[in-house]
Amino acid sequence: MDKVAIVTAAGKGMGAACARELSRQGFKVALMSRSEDALDLAQTLGGLGIQGSVTEKDDLKRLVNATLGKYGRIDAVVNNTGHPAKGRLLELSEEDWHHGLNLVLLNVAKMAQLVTPVMQKQGGGAFVNISTFAAYEPSASFPVSSVLRAGLGSYMKLYADEYASDNIRMNNLLPGFIDSYDVDESTLRAIPMQRAGTVDEIAKTVAFLVSDAAAYITGQNIKIDGGLTRSV
């Protein structure tokens, strides 16, 4: 039986790379993005594409229901998102913080509510949440992301502990600077490996974490940052 993976924010960058790698490894993919890019990629990969936002629970429900309607199961969920607001800490508005909460934390909680009963009936599954290196070494350049993705780390561990006995796993992946965005020379010099990571490296790590080879890995924050940050 084919395994099925949902990937959000799958129109470009890390999300698109994850979709391609999972498809290459034999997963049927269900993709969503705010643009039409996920629809085009899904067609290329022979999968399902939905246009919508991770901040809207109705869009997430539509994605889950469409996936179940087409494939009848969900084995993996890759919760990827865009970036929340940036700016000086005290200049960020309440709306910036509330939008960030919906974008990087509540999206995971909503997907977990929707998909966990499906995985329980199947006998297992895996979630991978794309977070950031700044979750545990906060950066003034990414204030909303740093704060709220630290909260995502707590949510992930609580979830992982609660549902491990159902053979449902959840881990966070914490990328550093990745080549889906331009990385300046001063930043590259601060990375011990002296280079940005690639979206393909992210995708291969995600594919490992949702595979049977990672069946004993849950509740972990896994850094993939070229040695940029200290261990937590």
Question: What three-state secondary structure class fits 204?
Answer: helix
User: Exposure of 22 by Cβ count < 10 A (0-12 exposed, 13-18 middle, 19+ buried)?
Assistant: buried
Question: Are the CB atoms for 48 and 32 separated by under 8 Å?
Answer: no
Neighbours of 124 (CB within 10 A): 14
Q: What is the pLDDT of residue 181?
A: 79
Q: What is the pLDDT of residue 180?
A: 83
Task: Taking residues 116-140, report their average pLDDT.
Answer: 96
d(Cα 52, Cα 80) in Å, to the nearest integer?
13
Q: What is the pLDDT of residue 96?
A: 96
Residue 69 has pLDDT above 60, yes or no: yes
Question: What three-state secondary structure class fits 135?
Answer: helix
Residue 186 has pLDDT above 90, yes or no: no
d(Cα 67, Cα 225) in Å, to the nearest integer?
32
DSSP code, position 212: G
d(Cα 221, Cα 43) in Å, to the nearest integer?
32
**Residue 148, C-beta contacts closer than 8 angstroms, at least 6 positions apart:** 84, 100, 101, 104, 105
- Please state whether beta strands 76-79 and 48-51 pair in parallel, antiparallel, or not at all (unpaired): unpaired
Residue 197 has pLDDT above 80, yes or no: yes
Report which residue type is found at 62: R
Residue 231 has pLDDT above 80, yes or no: no
d(Cα 175, Cα 191) in Å, to the nearest integer?
12
User: What DSSP letter does each residue of 20-47 carry, written as one string?
Assistant: HHHHHTT-EEEEEESSTHHHHHHHHHT-
Matching residue, tokens 């990937």? 7
The band of 232, judged by pLDDT with boundaries at 50, 70 and 90, is low
Task: Taking residues 22-48, report their average pLDDT.
Answer: 97
Q: What is the pLDDT of residue 124?
A: 98
d(Cα 101, Cα 134) in Å, to the nearest integer?
16
- Dihedral (C-alpha) 158, 163, 165, 166: value to the nearest 10 degrees? -170
The band of 209, judged by pLDDT with boundaries at 50, 70 and 90, is very high
